[in-house]
Structure 1
Amino acid sequence: MLENLVQNLGLTALSLQGFGPLLLEGTWMTLKLSVLSLALSVLLGLLGASAKLSHLALLRLPAQLYTTLIRGVPDLVLMLLIFYSLQTWLTEFTDAMDWDYIEINPFNAGVITLGFIYGAYFTETFRGAILSVPRGQTEAATAFGLKRWQRFRFVVFPQMMRFALPGIGNNWMVMLKATALVSIIGLADLVKAAQDAGKSTYQLFYFLVIAALIYLAITSASNVILRRLERRYALGVRENIR
């Protein structure tokens, strides 16, 4: 039985049986979804971290509720809730305005959903990183007359990134793999392409292995980029990253 399995894998490995373009398209869709979701989650993370560190309870309490709820509910449940809630609210709004029915694009829904979910994780990552920056640094910047935005750009952000990069890398890896969940809302990502190819050729195991290898290649390339960023933001630090 093992010999037959190895032989079958060897035969199918010679060709993707015409499904190469489909897998490439799925890979490109996964990359686009991941990068745009990352941008949205980073933005929400910075806003959320600023809100949680604010002295105003009006900002701090909603941010605390946001991170608590999101981190306490499974991603799959959140994805279904957010996706169908957005569509329901949009439908009710168009009905109230007597407009034509508008269907949310699965790609846009995937970006919004993943960005909203992982924005909570980035909120905690950035909050911890900002708290790690010595308070004397911002006080010195204030004494030099730097404005709030200038203090964040030139003093807080470069030092914050040194502390935040490990968490950012971890969140990115998890979010990249979580893009596989978007297939349940009809988006033709890498996993969906592998499933379609596998079902059409009765080689589901083989195409899922191909998908896994593609994910591994993306995460490996991401690790190289993250390591370079860590070295970049560790310049000037006595204990540099090797």
Structure 2
Amino acid sequence: MADLAAWGDDFLLGTLVVLKVFVVALIMAVIFGLIGAAARLSRNRIVSGLAKVYVVTFRGAPEIIILLIFYFGIAVSLTALVQYFDPATKFVDIPPFWAGSTAIGLIVGAYMTETFRGAFLGIDHGQVESAYALGLSKFQTFFHVRVPQMWRLALPNFGNHMLSIMKDTALISVIGLEEITFVAQMATSVTRQPFTMYMTVALIYLAITTLITFGVAALEKYANRHLRGAR
């Protein structure tokens, strides 16, 4: 316990990093998911096809491989671009935080694409037609009619995607981000107590994912409140 207490501040800072990655990746995943769902539902075959390639690619490849390719691929590409203008440049490094957050956002965004697409298809088309009949534009109908109902239908799977994002933050330690898994690795190398350190990481993740689970359950209850009143 003394060894664990000595690393307490590091685990606290690592937890804050995890939460930051989670928030940024979640925002990106929602954006990618909404854009992907809109593209998948598009009548344009090229747009729909590109969205399908995105979904198949990021859902089919191992997440850690995508993370590594994304991190090193962007670094190599930017290095080549900068060297074209400035040959003296040796290497352009990419911040692990942004590389990891974006990679996770893209990965989970592919899953959210299908979740949002299914939720949009689950909306009664009559309500959309009624919105148009009332004079609402496509933009107004999308944000005032379709999106609110889509969220209610998508919430159960959306909660699962939030949990996936949280758990995927542990992968970013492989590219050098100092989050709690990275801290556990460093602590293990010093204390030689891998069970204690990694069990601490597991308990931290369990606490956070439990809060997310209860939070999503509360959102589902709120979103379906009108259904309870109709019974």
Normalised by the size of structure 1, how large is the TM-score?
0.90
Structure 1 residue 15, shift from structure 2 partner = 6.3
Correspondence for 1:21:
9
Correspondence for 2:45:
57
Correspondence for 1:3:
none
1:198 aligned partner, one-letter code: T
Unaligned runs of 5+ in 1: 1-11
Unaligned runs of 5+ in 2: none
Correspondence for 2:218:
228
Q: Is the 8 A contact 2:37 2:113 kept in 1?
A: yes
From 111, 122, 127, the equivalent of 1:137 is 127
From 67, 75, 78, the equivalent of 1:90 is 78
SS in structure 1 opposite 2:6? coil
Structure 1 residue 45, shift from structure 2 partner = 0.3
Correspondence for 2:54:
66
State the percentage of identical aligned residues. 39
Structure 1 residue 111, shift from structure 2 partner = 1.0
Q: Relative to structure 2, which stretch is displaced further, 147-156 or 125-134? A: 147-156
Residues 1:184 and 1:239: Cα distance change in structure 2 (over 3 Å): farther
Structure 1 residue 239, shift from structure 2 partner = 8.3
Q: Is the 8 A contact 2:128 2:145 kept in 1?
A: yes
Alignment of 1:121-160 (within 5 A): 121-160=111-150
Q: Is the 8 A contact 2:76 2:92 kept in 1?
A: no
1:213 corresponds to 2:203: yes
Residues 1:239 and 1:195: Cα distance change in structure 2 (over 3 Å): farther
Q: Is the 8 A contact 1:87 1:103 kept in 2?
A: yes
Structure 1 residue 93, shift from structure 2 partner = 0.9
Partners in 2 of 1:150 and 1:190 — Cα distance?
43
Structure 1 residue 238, shift from structure 2 partner = 4.4
**Deviation sequence 1:98-134 (CA, Å, 0-9, x none):** 2744311111111111111111011011001101111
Q: Which runs of 4+ in 1 moved over 6 A?
A: none
Kindly tell me the number of residue pairs found equivalent between the two proteins.
Answer: 228
Correspondence for 2:19:
31
Q: Is the 8 A contact 1:67 1:121 kept in 2?
A: yes
Q: Is the 8 A contact 2:4 2:196 kept in 1?
A: no
**Deviation sequence 1:164-203 (CA, Å, 0-9, x none):** 0111110111121111111111111111111211221111
Partners in 2 of 1:180 and 1:29 — Cα distance?
11
Partners in 2 of 1:209 and 1:43 — Cα distance?
34
1:43 aligned partner, one-letter code: I
Normalised by the size of structure 2, how large is the TM-score?
0.94
Q: Is the 8 A contact 1:158 1:233 kept in 2?
A: no
Partners in 2 of 1:123 and 1:164 — Cα distance?
11
Partners in 1 of 2:229 and 2:190 — Cα distance?
54
SS in structure 1 opposite 2:55? helix
1:115 corresponds to 2:105: yes
Q: Is the 8 A contact 1:70 1:117 kept in 2?
A: yes
